[in-house]
């Protein structure tokens, strides 16, 4: 049959259907044979989550984040995604992101020969940060709880098993597993030993040797795991009320579900410590979740106090710790050298537990760590506040770091930024010591880094007669803007300030690219050519995928379809033909652009297909 004959026969069939009052309609739900894709859907409420679950072919996991909402992870028919995204109460829809461990065995080291299992060795990192001095003073982390969110922990290791508490697993353990959270890789066991190996007669000793370690297995034997698996583990840790979560893992891609879990954990008082990442250092390239403002991002140093050649740099780096050739525990009761920001991270994790045991609150610990670091003379984006100093953090005062101290002990430190949104953020600080003062007025200065003179503002938080954390929420900020801030304290004519810290507000989707819906062309009784325009693209956007959402007016939920049009990295027009429309029917369509799960929609445009007699 010729193309002309095919088209003629099709039109005759459509006219017959018009006469009979029947029609094919738009397909709204997936057929039984339709393919599915894994999606993560964040919702505002339990009812919205229930509605989303009803659209899934299979629900993999659900997370209850309290006031922050709910998350459903499942396999959804491809055709249902547009209607899920458009549903009221849906905060985001994203794909799974893969995260990997950020430490590796030192080449050529089958075992740490210099670790004599018959005689305990103090690793150089524990010594360099002054943790062994704190041990001698009796501060060893009793009644604290450390969660190692990683590949698991060897439950039978002689240097760990006395400190092990309850564990949790979101992925299976493949080999040699006594517990479901056991380690089949070694990375998690190595991190656990750095943070909390037992002080005994052999092996190594950890930063916090009397803490309780909790193995949370979210990474498989391959060394990688999914965002939803990791988020599940972190939410479990928060619900147990543990003191600190150690995340020696990362990804170059942000993940909404991971950020949700980090914020949920910090809301519940968990201090979240994460590895900055291992690659050729590149400014502002810190991996996630370390890049989130709620987490303490940790870089790595070597035994010469130089920055490790793999340690990523950027404004998010908050502190550095030993991370090169670190001896610690591995599976099968062995010991090996590993390197990575993964190894630096549990040094800080152990320090957090030590401070908790010394009586500091979760709100105070972050500022205390920042204000007592040792300045190594590096740039701020390399060392953050400086090198971890557990002895100084636990004791009185500090002889290192960039935060404010008048010399008589009057000191304040700048913390981090939390709950950073498009136009608001909460900034934190800590009054670390009053020195000879009886009280001090504390607050913050903040400004747009591109216009300090024109935008600097001062916020007084109030008077404090005791040391401790303080915070304030900034509103009315500009989206997609980097702000700097410092904490200050004033008393008796003296003024001290903390180290400058930065945060960047979220971008409105239209800050990144913009989309317009055009007028349709070649509208016939069963088809039309839909038209859209990418009118601007920010240089940070690598690619904009263009699609159209089209539905029959008055029946969006039952007839919505998404039509793919292409992709572009520059302003451009795009079009795509939509077929199988009903004659003499009004349709609505919207041009849509998508980049890294950011979706920008144009204004809806209506058109009417030709009637049977047109």
342-373 per-position pLDDT tens digit: 999 999 999 999 999 998 888 889 888 988 99
From the centroid of its chain, how far is CA 338? 25
What percent of the chain is modeled with pLDDT above 70?
A: 89
| Nearest in space to 54 (alpha carbons), one of 557, 556, 561 | 557
For 163-189, the pLDDT digits (tens) are 999 999 999 998 778 999 999 999 999
Residue 399 confidence (pLDDT): 35
Catalytic hit among 135, 145, 187, 287: 187
| CB contact set of 558 (below 8 Å; sequence gap of 6+) | 26, 28, 552
Helices 256-267 and 227-240, axial angle in degrees (round to 10): 10
Q: Is 60 exceeded by the pLDDT of residue 273?
A: yes
| CB contact set of 264 (below 8 Å; sequence gap of 6+) | 65, 66, 68, 234, 235, 238
- Of the candidate ranges 57-61, 100-104, 234-238, 387-391, the one whose mean pLDDT is the lowest: 100-104
For 452-477, the pLDDT digits (tens) are 999 999 999 999 999 888 999 999 99
Helices 362-371 and 341-357, axial angle in degrees (round to 10): 120
Predicted confidence band of residue 33 (pLDDT cuts 50, 70, 90): low
Predicted confidence band of residue 15 (pLDDT cuts 50, 70, 90): very low
Residues written for the chain: 614
DSSP single-letter state for residue 509: H
For 128-159, the pLDDT digits (tens) are 999 999 999 899 999 999 999 999 999 999 99
540 or 124: which leads in pLDDT = 124
Catalytic hit among 199, 220, 328, 342: 342
Beta strands at 513-517 and 561-568: parallel, antiparallel or unpaired: unpaired
DSSP per residue over 31-64, as a string? Answer: -TT--EEEEEEEESSHHHHHHHHTT-SEEEEEEE
Return d(Cα 478, Cα 219) in angstroms, integer.
38
Return d(Cα 374, Cα 389) in angstroms, integer.
6
Catalytic hit among 83, 132, 135, 150: 150
Residue in the structure block whose two tokens are 């360099």: 128
Residues 218/230, Cβ–Cβ less than 8 Å: yes
pTM: 0.71
- Of the candidate ranges 110-124, 316-330, 350-364, the one whose mean pLDDT is the lowest: 110-124
Residue 203 confidence (pLDDT): 92
| CB contact set of 108 (below 8 Å; sequence gap of 6+) | none
In a 3-state reduction of DSSP, which class is residue 99?
strand
Question: What are the tokens at 582?
Answer: 């009903």
Question: What are the tokens at 219?
Answer: 């990474």
Q: Is 70 exceeded by the pLDDT of residue 25?
A: no
- Mean pLDDT value across residues 546-575: 92
- Is the previous residue joined to 295 through a cis bond, with omega within 30 degrees of 0? no
Mean pLDDT of the chain: 88
Q: Is 70 exceeded by the pLDDT of residue 104?
A: yes
Predicted confidence band of residue 419 (pLDDT cuts 50, 70, 90): confident
Return d(Cα 393, Cα 413) in angstroms, integer.
12
- Which domains, and CATH codes, for the chain? 1-30+507-614 (2.60.40.10), 99-400 (3.40.50.200), 405-504 (2.60.40.10)
| CB contact set of 455 (below 8 Å; sequence gap of 6+) | 447, 448
- Mean pLDDT value across residues 197-217: 95
Give Cα separations from 383 to 51, 317, 356, 555 (angstroms).
47, 7, 24, 57
Return d(Cα 546, Cα 229) in angstroms, integer.
30
- Mean pLDDT value across residues 513-538: 94
Residues 339/325, Cβ–Cβ less than 8 Å: yes
Predicted confidence band of residue 59 (pLDDT cuts 50, 70, 90): very high
Return d(Cα 125, Cα 210) in angstroms, integer.
18
Beta strands at 513-517 and 501-504: parallel, antiparallel or unpaired: unpaired
- Mean pLDDT value across residues 520-545: 92
Residue in the structure block whose two tokens are 């303080």: 470
From the centroid of its chain, how far is CA 540? 19
In a 3-state reduction of DSSP, which class is residue 229?
helix
Return d(Cα 281, Cα 254) in angstroms, integer.
19
Residue 325 confidence (pLDDT): 95
Residue 409 confidence (pLDDT): 65
Residue 362 confidence (pLDDT): 86
| Nearest in space to 291 (alpha carbons), one of 277, 311, 308, 309 | 277
Active site residue 342: yes
398 or 70: which leads in pLDDT = 70
DSSP single-letter state for residue 486: E
């Amino acid at each position: 049959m010729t193309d002309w004959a095919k088209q003629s026969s099709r039109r005759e069939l459509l006219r017959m259907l018009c006469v009979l009052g029947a029609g094919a309609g738009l397909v709204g739900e997936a057929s039984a044979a339709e393919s599915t894709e894994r999606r993560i859907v964040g919702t505002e409420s339990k009812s919205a989550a229930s509605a989303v679950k009803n659209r899934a072919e299979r629900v993999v996991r659900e997370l209850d984040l309290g006031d922050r909402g709910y998350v459903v992870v499942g396999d959804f028919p491809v055709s249902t995604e547009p209607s899920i995204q458009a549903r009221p109460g849906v905060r985001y829809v994203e794909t799974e992101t893969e995260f990997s461990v950020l430490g590796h065995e030192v080449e050529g080291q089958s075992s740490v020969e210099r670790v004599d299992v018959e005689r305990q060795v103090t690793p150089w990192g524990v010594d360099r940060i002054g943790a062994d001095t704190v041990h001698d003073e009796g501060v060893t982390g009793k009644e604290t709880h450390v969660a190692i969110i990683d590949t698991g922990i060897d439950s039978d290791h002689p240097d760990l098993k006395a400190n092990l508490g309850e564990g949790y697993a979101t992925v299976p353990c493949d080999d040699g597993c006594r517990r479901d959270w056991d380690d089949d890789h070694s990375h998690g066991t190595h991190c656990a030993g750095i943070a909390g190996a037992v002080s005994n007669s052999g092996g190594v000793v950890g930063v916090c040797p009397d803490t309780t370690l909790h193995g949370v297995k979210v990474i498989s034997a391959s060394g990688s795991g999914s965002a939803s698996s990791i988020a599940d583990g972190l939410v479990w840790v928060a619900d147990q009320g543990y003191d600190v979560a150690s995340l020696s893992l990362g990804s170059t891609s942000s993940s909404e579900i991971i950020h949700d879990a980090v914020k949920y954990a910090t809301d519940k008082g968990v201090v979240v410590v994460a590895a900055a990442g291992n690659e050729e250092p590149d400014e502002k390239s810190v991996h996630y979740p370390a890049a989130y403002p709620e987490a303490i991002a940790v870089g790595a140093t070597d035994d010469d106090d130089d920055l490790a050649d793999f340690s990523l740099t950027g404004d998010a780096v908050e502190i550095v710790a030993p991370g090169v050739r670190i001896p610690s525990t591995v599976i099968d009761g062995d010991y090996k050298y590993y390197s990575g920001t993964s190894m630096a991270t549990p040094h800080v994790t152990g320090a957090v537990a030590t401070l908790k045991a010394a009586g500091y609150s979760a709100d105070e610990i972050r500022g205390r760590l920042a204000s007592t670091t040792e300045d190594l003379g590096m740039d701020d984006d390399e060392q953050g506040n400086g090198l971890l100093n557990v002895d100084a953090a636990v004791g009185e005062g500090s002889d290192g770091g960039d935060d404010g101290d008048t010399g008589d002990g009057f000191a304040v430190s700048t913390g981090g930024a939390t709950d950073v949104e498009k136009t608001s953020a909460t900034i934190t600080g800590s009054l670390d010591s009053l020195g000879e003062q009886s009280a001090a007025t504390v607050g913050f200065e903040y400004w747009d880094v591109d216009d300090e003179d024109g935008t600097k503002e001062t916020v007084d938080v109030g008077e404090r007669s005791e040391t401790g954390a303080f915070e304030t929420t900034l509103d009315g900020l500009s989206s997609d803007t980097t702000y700097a801030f410092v904490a200050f304290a004033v008393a008796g004519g003296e003024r001290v300030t903390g180290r400058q810290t930065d945060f960047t507000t979220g971008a409105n989707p239209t800050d990144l690219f913009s989309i317009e819906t055009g007028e349709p062309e070649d509208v016939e009784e069963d088809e039309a050519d839909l038209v859209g325009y990418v009118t601007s693209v920010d240089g940070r956007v690598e690619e904009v995928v263009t699609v159209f959402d089209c539905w029959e007016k008055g029946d969006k939920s039952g007839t919505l379809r998404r039509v793919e049009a292409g992709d572009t990295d520059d302003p451009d027009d795009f079009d795509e033909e939509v077929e199988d429309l009903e004659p003499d029917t009004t349709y609505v369509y919207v041009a849509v652009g998508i980049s890294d799960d950011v979706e920008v929609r144009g204004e809806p445009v209506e058109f009417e297909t030709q009637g049977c007699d047109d």
